[in-house]
Structure 1
Amino acid sequence: MGLGPATQMAGPFFIRTPGVLRPGHFTIKPFSACYDRPQSQKHGEVEQAMATLYDTLGVPTHATDEEIKRAYRKAAMKWHPDRNSGAEDVARATFQEIKDAYAILSDAAQRKVYDAVYAEQMRSWEAQHARQRKSQAEREAASRAADEAAYAEMVSLAMRFADEGHNRDVLFGVLLGRRCEARRAAQIADSVSALQAARREPAKAEAEPVAADASESADSSVATEAAAAKDDAAAQASPGHRAHQDKREEPVGDTHPAGALSGLWFQFLNGLRL
């Protein structure tokens, strides 16, 4: 980058000796308490942010020289060891960080180099985090797919046993036997049992009118037959029917005496003709 030996560096963070920069190691670390910046969180994990020299002084990257100077004075006064009785070690370390940051940012040439290296490191850092987020998303998607497949398998198993007529407790036991987590097994057993009950209700409702119609038809037939039998019995018990029946059952000779004599007379006449 066209820097002299005293300004060669491995990252945007410099270890400074009076008047020069010497090589240091690039690190990613969370903001310390002195920066007054919150740590960001994503997916329940605390993400570390790159603490820059601008963060150390509490100014934006586009801050003017005057803004940097005012911020330095304010931070130096706040963290001077003499003003932090009982916490001198922490104050001394923080105060030194503030001095180092100001030494670089107050020098136009060193600030330009710092900004260039920082921009490059930020691109690398962002690319790394993008890869991490993508990998995390892929792992989560694979985990969800596996969980959904296992859930579908347990539901299918419960449905099969429910179709065979088994009740909710049997379904629950079968799912536990397949190492299904107890809470999920109870949820599946309850849902499948409720579904089967809902399916049976319409079939039962359709069957009841058919059975009622059949019963009503049978009752009507029995009533008709009983009425016919009653009418027949009443007709047979009437006097006219009895006289007709007696007349029909009498012998021919008893019923028609004149006819019998006529027959004998006809035989007698035939005998004379002979």
Structure 2
Amino acid sequence: MATLYDLLNVHADASDAEIKRAYRRAAMKVHPDRNVGREASAHAQFQELKEAYAILSDPEQRRVYDAVYAEETERLARERDEEAARVQAARDAEYARHVAVAMRFAEQGHNRDVVFGVLLGHDCEPQLAGRIADGAHALHLSRQASTSPHEQGEEAMSRDAGQAQEGRPRSAPERAHGDEPRASAERTPVDFFSAVWRGMFGLHS
């Protein structure tokens, strides 16, 4: 934001003598008599210089101007900080959503390229989608490697049983019982994997 000091090309702590010299120098440069052919614009500039000098050469007016400018500068800074915070919060929420989607598809056994394509379909920026897809696939593989053979067998049996029952309708108790773990599983990536993701990769600006 340009100031009266900028108009006279002096620092905000300039002395009265420095302001006076700066005004005279600038006024001579833009005086209409010295700008033949562009008198109208030169006159406008000359008037701006006169108004700036009238304020800055008067101690009381200069004090008020400095106070108002400082307050306005502080207000604008607060607005910028608040806007930056809102933007960052929105980015964090979007990032968490992409991570949750990636982990859900990775846990379903889809490969990295499928996860990447799904993220692109969810309007994730390609470079970020690549990082998240790589991390989701790697994290899924590491979790699989840390699972004991017995646990893997139980998981496989559970998947086979679920697939075998897909052809018959489920009763109301079965639907209620079956839907609850699924809802819990869908919430898990947001709560657990997002936190793990932060530690492994972080959110890059």
TM-score (norm 1): 0.43
Residue in structure 1 matched with residue 35 of structure 2 by the alignment? 84
Question: Given the alignment, which residue of 76, 92, 95 partners 1:129?
Answer: 76
Secondary structure in 1 matching 2:10: coil
**What does residue range 56-67 of structure 1 map to in structure 2 within 5 Å?**
56-67=7-18
Residue in structure 2 matched with residue 146 of structure 1 by the alignment? 93
Following superposition, the deviation at residue 55 of structure 1 comes to 3.2
| Counterparts of 1:129 and 1:147, CA distance in 2 | 27
Residues 25-81 of structure 1: CA distance to partner in whole angstroms, max 9, x if unpaired? xxxxxxxxxxxxxxxxxxxxxxx34x22x3332233443443333222211111011
Residue in structure 1 matched with residue 62 of structure 2 by the alignment? 115
Equivalent pairs counted in the alignment come to: 146
| Counterparts of 2:42 and 2:65, CA distance in 1 | 26
**What does residue range 193-204 of structure 1 map to in structure 2 within 5 Å?**
193=137
Q: Per the alignment, do residues 88 and 62 of structure 1 end up closer, same or farther by CA in structure 2, a change over 3 Å counting? A: same
Following superposition, the deviation at residue 143 of structure 1 comes to 1.4
Q: Per the alignment, do residues 113 and 156 of structure 1 end up closer, same or farther by CA in structure 2, a change over 3 Å counting? A: same
Q: Per the alignment, do residues 138 and 62 of structure 1 end up closer, same or farther by CA in structure 2, a change over 3 Å counting? A: closer
Q: More helix by proportion, 1 or 2? A: 2
Q: Per the alignment, do residues 63 and 123 of structure 1 end up closer, same or farther by CA in structure 2, a change over 3 Å counting? A: closer
Q: Per the alignment, do residues 101 and 200 of structure 1 end up closer, same or farther by CA in structure 2, a change over 3 Å counting? A: closer
Q: More strand by proportion, 1 or 2? A: 1
Are the counterparts in 2 of residues 80 and 91 from structure 1 also a CA contact under 8 Å? yes
| Counterparts of 2:51 and 2:111, CA distance in 1 | 75
Q: What percentage of residue pairs aligned between the two structures are identical? A: 46
Structure 1: gaps spanning 5 or more residues: 1-47, 203-274
Are the counterparts in 1 of residues 106 and 136 from structure 2 also a CA contact under 8 Å? yes
Are the counterparts in 2 of residues 158 and 188 from structure 1 also a CA contact under 8 Å? no
Residue in structure 1 matched with residue 19 of structure 2 by the alignment? 68
Q: Per the alignment, do residues 92 and 144 of structure 1 end up closer, same or farther by CA in structure 2, a change over 3 Å counting? A: same
**What does residue range 1-274 of structure 1 map to in structure 2 within 5 Å?**
48-49=1-2, 51-52=3-4, 54-106=5-57, 111-162=58-109, 166-172=110-116, 174-175=118-119, 179-181=122-124, 183=126, 184-185=128-129, 187-193=131-137
Structure 2: gaps spanning 5 or more residues: 147-205
Are the counterparts in 2 of residues 158 and 175 from structure 1 also a CA contact under 8 Å? no
Following superposition, the deviation at residue 120 of structure 1 comes to 2.6
| Counterparts of 2:56 and 2:130, CA distance in 1 | 64
Residues 214-241 of structure 1: CA distance to partner in whole angstroms, max 9, x if unpaired? xxxxxxxxxxxxxxxxxxxxxxxxxxxx
Query: Match for 2:92: what amino acid?
Result: A
Q: Per the alignment, do residues 99 and 174 of structure 1 end up closer, same or farther by CA in structure 2, a change over 3 Å counting? A: closer
Are the counterparts in 1 of residues 7 and 49 from structure 2 also a CA contact under 8 Å? yes
